[in-house]
Structure 1
Amino acid sequence: MRASPADIESICLSLPEVELGISWGDRPTYKVPRGAKGRGFLLYRAPGKTAIDPVSGDMFTDLLVIQVADEMTKRTLVQDPQSPFFTIDHFNGYNAVLVQESRLGELERDQLVEIIADAWATKAPPRLVREYFANR
Protein backbone atom coordinates (compact mmCIF):
# COMPACT_ATOMS: atom_id res chain seq x y z
CA MET A 1 0.00 0.00 0.00
CA ARG A 2 1.29 3.46 -0.89
CA ALA A 3 1.83 6.12 1.78
CA SER A 4 -0.23 9.29 1.92
CA PRO A 5 -0.24 12.52 3.93
CA ALA A 6 -3.08 11.09 6.02
CA ASP A 7 -0.68 8.39 7.28
CA ILE A 8 1.56 10.88 9.08
CA GLU A 9 -0.75 11.40 12.04
CA SER A 10 -1.66 7.74 12.49
CA ILE A 11 1.97 6.59 12.27
CA CYS A 12 3.30 9.26 14.63
CA LEU A 13 0.56 8.79 17.23
CA SER A 14 0.99 5.01 17.15
CA LEU A 15 4.48 5.45 18.61
CA PRO A 16 4.90 5.49 22.41
CA GLU A 17 4.63 8.78 24.29
CA VAL A 18 4.06 10.95 21.19
CA GLU A 19 2.04 14.14 21.11
CA LEU A 20 1.41 16.80 18.50
CA GLY A 21 2.79 20.09 19.75
CA ILE A 22 4.39 23.27 18.44
CA SER A 23 8.00 24.20 17.76
CA TRP A 24 9.94 26.72 15.67
CA GLY A 25 7.48 29.35 16.85
CA ASP A 26 4.21 28.05 15.48
CA ARG A 27 4.92 24.87 13.53
CA PRO A 28 2.97 21.69 14.24
CA THR A 29 5.52 19.14 15.45
CA TYR A 30 5.29 15.56 16.63
CA LYS A 31 7.25 15.26 19.87
CA VAL A 32 8.42 12.58 22.27
CA PRO A 33 7.96 12.20 25.22
CA ARG A 34 4.70 13.96 25.98
CA GLY A 35 4.96 17.10 28.07
CA ALA A 36 7.50 19.83 28.62
CA LYS A 37 10.49 17.60 27.84
CA GLY A 38 9.15 16.61 24.43
CA ARG A 39 11.60 16.80 21.53
CA GLY A 40 10.47 17.14 17.94
CA PHE A 41 11.12 14.39 15.40
CA LEU A 42 8.73 15.41 12.59
CA LEU A 43 7.80 19.00 11.80
CA TYR A 44 5.48 20.62 9.27
CA ARG A 45 7.79 23.29 7.80
CA ALA A 46 6.49 26.73 6.89
CA PRO A 47 7.14 27.95 3.34
CA GLY A 48 10.35 29.96 3.22
CA LYS A 49 12.94 31.48 0.93
CA THR A 50 15.44 28.74 1.78
CA ALA A 51 13.26 25.98 0.27
CA ILE A 52 12.47 26.75 -3.37
CA ASP A 53 11.18 24.27 -5.94
CA PRO A 54 13.96 24.13 -8.57
CA VAL A 55 11.42 23.51 -11.35
CA SER A 56 8.78 26.17 -10.62
CA GLY A 57 10.86 28.64 -8.60
CA ASP A 58 8.08 28.77 -5.99
CA MET A 59 8.48 28.12 -2.28
CA PHE A 60 7.54 24.60 -1.25
CA THR A 61 4.26 24.74 0.68
CA ASP A 62 3.94 21.15 1.88
CA LEU A 63 7.28 20.21 3.42
CA LEU A 64 7.88 17.84 6.28
CA VAL A 65 11.16 17.87 8.19
CA ILE A 66 11.98 14.38 9.44
CA GLN A 67 14.86 13.65 11.81
CA VAL A 68 17.39 11.00 10.85
CA ALA A 69 19.97 9.23 12.99
CA ASP A 70 23.09 10.59 11.35
CA GLU A 71 24.70 12.15 8.28
CA MET A 72 25.14 8.77 6.59
CA THR A 73 21.41 8.00 6.85
CA LYS A 74 20.63 11.44 5.51
CA ARG A 75 22.95 10.99 2.53
CA THR A 76 21.51 7.56 1.80
CA LEU A 77 17.97 8.96 1.65
CA VAL A 78 18.73 12.08 -0.37
CA GLN A 79 21.16 10.52 -2.87
CA ASP A 80 18.82 7.72 -3.94
CA PRO A 81 17.35 8.90 -7.27
CA GLN A 82 14.15 6.96 -6.54
CA SER A 83 13.66 8.69 -3.18
CA PRO A 84 11.40 11.71 -2.68
CA PHE A 85 13.64 12.89 0.17
CA PHE A 86 15.98 15.84 -0.27
CA THR A 87 17.82 18.49 1.67
CA ILE A 88 18.62 22.18 1.30
CA ASP A 89 21.60 24.30 2.32
CA HIS A 90 19.65 25.50 5.37
CA PHE A 91 19.90 21.94 6.75
CA ASN A 92 23.63 21.43 6.18
CA GLY A 93 25.06 19.90 9.34
CA TYR A 94 21.59 19.02 10.64
CA ASN A 95 20.43 15.39 10.74
CA ALA A 96 17.10 15.76 8.98
CA VAL A 97 15.62 15.27 5.54
CA LEU A 98 12.79 17.04 3.77
CA VAL A 99 9.93 15.54 1.81
CA GLN A 100 6.88 17.06 0.19
CA GLU A 101 3.63 15.65 1.51
CA SER A 102 2.46 15.50 -2.11
CA ARG A 103 5.27 13.01 -2.88
CA LEU A 104 4.61 10.58 -0.01
CA GLY A 105 2.75 8.35 -2.48
CA GLU A 106 6.13 7.47 -3.98
CA LEU A 107 6.80 5.46 -0.81
CA GLU A 108 5.23 2.30 0.46
CA ARG A 109 3.44 2.91 3.77
CA ASP A 110 5.77 0.39 5.45
CA GLN A 111 8.78 2.46 4.31
CA LEU A 112 7.23 5.58 5.81
CA VAL A 113 6.52 3.74 9.07
CA GLU A 114 10.18 2.69 9.27
CA ILE A 115 11.49 6.20 8.53
CA ILE A 116 9.18 7.82 11.08
CA ALA A 117 9.93 5.18 13.74
CA ASP A 118 13.64 5.79 13.21
CA ALA A 119 13.04 9.55 13.49
CA TRP A 120 11.13 9.00 16.73
CA ALA A 121 14.02 6.88 18.05
CA THR A 122 16.46 9.79 17.58
CA LYS A 123 14.54 11.84 20.16
CA ALA A 124 12.82 9.30 22.44
CA PRO A 125 14.28 8.34 25.81
CA PRO A 126 16.55 5.27 25.45
CA ARG A 127 14.33 3.09 27.65
CA LEU A 128 11.33 3.80 25.43
CA VAL A 129 13.35 3.02 22.29
CA ARG A 130 14.56 -0.30 23.70
CA GLU A 131 11.04 -1.32 24.73
CA TYR A 132 9.50 -0.31 21.41
CA PHE A 133 11.98 -2.13 19.20
CA ALA A 134 12.04 -5.21 21.48
CA ASN A 135 8.27 -5.56 21.03
CA ARG A 136 8.22 -5.07 17.25
Structure 2
Amino acid sequence: MGRSRAGRVADVHALAQAMPHVAEVSGGRGNAVYQVGGKSFVFFRTARPDAYDPVTGERYDDVIVIWVPDEQDKQALVEDPANPFFTTPHFDGHPSVLVRGSRVGELTLAQLREVVEDAWCSRASKRRVETWLAAQGRVSA
Protein backbone atom coordinates (compact mmCIF):
# COMPACT_ATOMS: atom_id res chain seq x y z
CA MET A 1 0.00 0.00 0.00
CA GLY A 2 1.31 3.43 -0.90
CA ARG A 3 1.89 6.33 1.43
CA SER A 4 -1.31 8.07 2.45
CA ARG A 5 -1.65 11.73 1.53
CA ALA A 6 -1.91 14.47 4.13
CA GLY A 7 -5.29 14.89 5.77
CA ARG A 8 -7.49 17.91 5.16
CA VAL A 9 -10.30 19.54 7.10
CA ALA A 10 -12.65 18.51 4.28
CA ASP A 11 -11.62 14.91 5.02
CA VAL A 12 -12.80 15.24 8.62
CA HIS A 13 -16.24 16.19 7.32
CA ALA A 14 -16.26 13.46 4.65
CA LEU A 15 -15.04 10.73 6.99
CA ALA A 16 -17.59 11.63 9.66
CA GLN A 17 -20.41 11.81 7.11
CA ALA A 18 -19.40 8.43 5.65
CA MET A 19 -19.98 6.56 8.90
CA PRO A 20 -23.36 4.83 9.22
CA HIS A 21 -26.34 6.36 11.02
CA VAL A 22 -24.70 9.79 11.19
CA ALA A 23 -26.65 13.00 11.54
CA GLU A 24 -24.99 16.33 10.89
CA VAL A 25 -26.46 19.06 13.05
CA SER A 26 -25.52 22.70 13.41
CA GLY A 27 -24.10 24.00 16.64
CA GLY A 28 -25.27 27.29 18.12
CA ARG A 29 -23.10 29.29 15.76
CA GLY A 30 -23.62 27.14 12.68
CA ASN A 31 -20.62 24.93 13.38
CA ALA A 32 -20.83 21.32 12.17
CA VAL A 33 -21.55 18.63 14.75
CA TYR A 34 -21.58 14.96 13.75
CA GLN A 35 -23.67 12.59 15.84
CA VAL A 36 -24.54 8.92 15.94
CA GLY A 37 -27.59 7.91 17.93
CA GLY A 38 -27.89 11.50 19.19
CA LYS A 39 -24.33 11.46 20.58
CA SER A 40 -21.65 13.75 19.18
CA PHE A 41 -18.43 12.12 18.03
CA VAL A 42 -16.82 14.97 16.03
CA PHE A 43 -17.62 18.63 16.26
CA PHE A 44 -16.16 21.84 14.99
CA ARG A 45 -15.79 24.16 17.93
CA THR A 46 -16.20 27.90 17.93
CA ALA A 47 -13.48 30.11 19.40
CA ARG A 48 -13.38 29.65 23.17
CA PRO A 49 -11.17 31.18 25.88
CA ASP A 50 -9.50 27.87 26.80
CA ALA A 51 -7.88 27.24 23.38
CA TYR A 52 -5.61 30.08 22.37
CA ASP A 53 -2.24 30.96 20.90
CA PRO A 54 0.22 31.11 23.81
CA VAL A 55 2.19 33.94 22.17
CA THR A 56 -0.57 36.26 20.94
CA GLY A 57 -3.42 35.19 23.21
CA GLU A 58 -5.67 34.97 20.15
CA ARG A 59 -8.41 32.35 20.49
CA TYR A 60 -8.19 29.47 18.06
CA ASP A 61 -11.19 29.54 15.75
CA ASP A 62 -10.44 26.24 14.02
CA VAL A 63 -10.58 23.65 16.82
CA ILE A 64 -12.09 20.25 16.09
CA VAL A 65 -13.16 18.04 19.00
CA ILE A 66 -12.87 14.30 18.36
CA TRP A 67 -14.07 11.69 20.86
CA VAL A 68 -11.73 8.89 21.91
CA PRO A 69 -12.53 5.51 23.46
CA ASP A 70 -10.99 6.29 26.85
CA GLU A 71 -8.49 8.31 28.85
CA GLN A 72 -5.63 6.00 27.89
CA ASP A 73 -6.25 6.65 24.19
CA LYS A 74 -6.54 10.37 24.88
CA GLN A 75 -3.22 10.49 26.69
CA ALA A 76 -1.49 8.45 23.99
CA LEU A 77 -2.61 10.95 21.37
CA VAL A 78 -1.87 14.17 23.25
CA GLU A 79 1.44 13.03 24.73
CA ASP A 80 2.93 11.90 21.40
CA PRO A 81 4.91 14.89 20.11
CA ALA A 82 4.48 13.58 16.55
CA ASN A 83 0.71 14.23 16.81
CA PRO A 84 -0.99 17.64 16.53
CA PHE A 85 -3.61 16.66 19.14
CA PHE A 86 -3.95 18.59 22.37
CA THR A 87 -6.35 19.15 25.22
CA THR A 88 -7.18 21.95 27.63
CA PRO A 89 -8.22 21.95 31.28
CA HIS A 90 -11.82 22.46 30.10
CA PHE A 91 -11.65 18.92 28.67
CA ASP A 92 -10.08 17.26 31.72
CA GLY A 93 -11.92 14.01 32.29
CA HIS A 94 -13.69 14.28 28.92
CA PRO A 95 -13.00 11.45 26.44
CA SER A 96 -11.91 13.66 23.57
CA VAL A 97 -8.92 15.29 21.96
CA LEU A 98 -8.64 18.60 20.17
CA VAL A 99 -6.87 19.39 16.93
CA ARG A 100 -6.64 22.65 15.06
CA GLY A 101 -7.91 22.57 11.50
CA SER A 102 -4.70 24.31 10.47
CA ARG A 103 -2.74 21.29 11.74
CA VAL A 104 -4.87 18.45 10.32
CA GLY A 105 -2.34 18.20 7.46
CA GLU A 106 0.20 16.85 9.95
CA LEU A 107 -1.85 13.65 9.94
CA THR A 108 -2.11 11.30 7.02
CA LEU A 109 -5.53 10.53 5.62
CA ALA A 110 -5.15 7.01 7.05
CA GLN A 111 -4.41 8.38 10.54
CA LEU A 112 -7.33 10.77 10.30
CA ARG A 113 -9.63 7.95 9.16
CA GLU A 114 -8.58 5.83 12.14
CA VAL A 115 -9.25 8.63 14.64
CA VAL A 116 -12.67 9.47 13.16
CA GLU A 117 -13.67 5.79 12.98
CA ASP A 118 -12.55 5.27 16.59
CA ALA A 119 -14.57 8.34 17.59
CA TRP A 120 -17.68 6.93 15.93
CA CYS A 121 -17.12 3.51 17.54
CA SER A 122 -16.75 5.12 20.96
CA ARG A 123 -20.20 6.75 20.68
CA ALA A 124 -22.29 4.37 18.57
CA SER A 125 -24.33 1.56 20.10
CA LYS A 126 -22.62 -1.79 20.56
CA ARG A 127 -24.88 -3.33 17.89
CA ARG A 128 -24.04 -0.64 15.35
CA VAL A 129 -20.33 -0.96 16.05
CA GLU A 130 -20.41 -4.74 15.70
CA THR A 131 -22.41 -4.52 12.46
CA TRP A 132 -20.05 -1.90 11.01
CA LEU A 133 -16.91 -3.79 12.05
CA ALA A 134 -18.27 -7.01 10.51
CA ALA A 135 -18.99 -5.17 7.25
CA GLN A 136 -15.36 -3.98 7.29
CA GLY A 137 -14.12 -7.54 7.80
CA ARG A 138 -12.96 -6.70 11.31
CA VAL A 139 -14.04 -8.01 14.66
CA SER A 140 -14.87 -6.01 17.75
CA ALA A 141 -12.43 -5.99 20.64
Q: Given the two structures, how large is their TM-score scaled by the length of structure 2?
A: 0.88
Which runs of structure 2 are paired with 1:1-136 in the superposition (5 Å)? Answer: 1-23=5-27, 25-26=28-29, 27-33=31-37, 38-136=38-136
CA distance in 2, matches of 1:56, 1:110: 33
Give how far 1:17 is off.
0.5
CA distance in 1, matches of 2:42, 2:53: 21
Percent of aligned pairs with the same residue?
Answer: 39
Give how far 1:54 is off.
1.5
Q: Deviations over 1:46-91 (max 9, x none)?
A: 1011111223321001000100111100000000001000000100
Query: What is the SS of the residue equivalent to 2:24?
Result: strand
Give how far 1:114 is off.
0.5
Give how far 1:28 is off.
2.2
Q: Given the two structures, how large is their TM-score scaled by the length of structure 1?
A: 0.91
- The count of corresponding residues between Structure 1 and Structure 2 is 131
Which stretches of structure 1, 4 residues or more, deviate above 4 A after TM superposition? none
Q: Deviations over 1:22-67 (max 9, x none)?
A: 35x444210013xxxx110011111011111223321001000100
Gapped runs of 5+ residues in structure 2?
137-141
Structure 1 letter corresponding to 2:120: W
CA distance in 2, matches of 1:101, 1:57: 18
Q: Deviations over 1:77-134 (max 9, x none)?
A: 0000010000001000111100001101000101100100000111111111001112
CA distance in 1, matches of 2:81, 2:91: 19
Gapped runs of 5+ residues in structure 1?
none
CA distance in 2, matches of 1:131, 1:11: 18
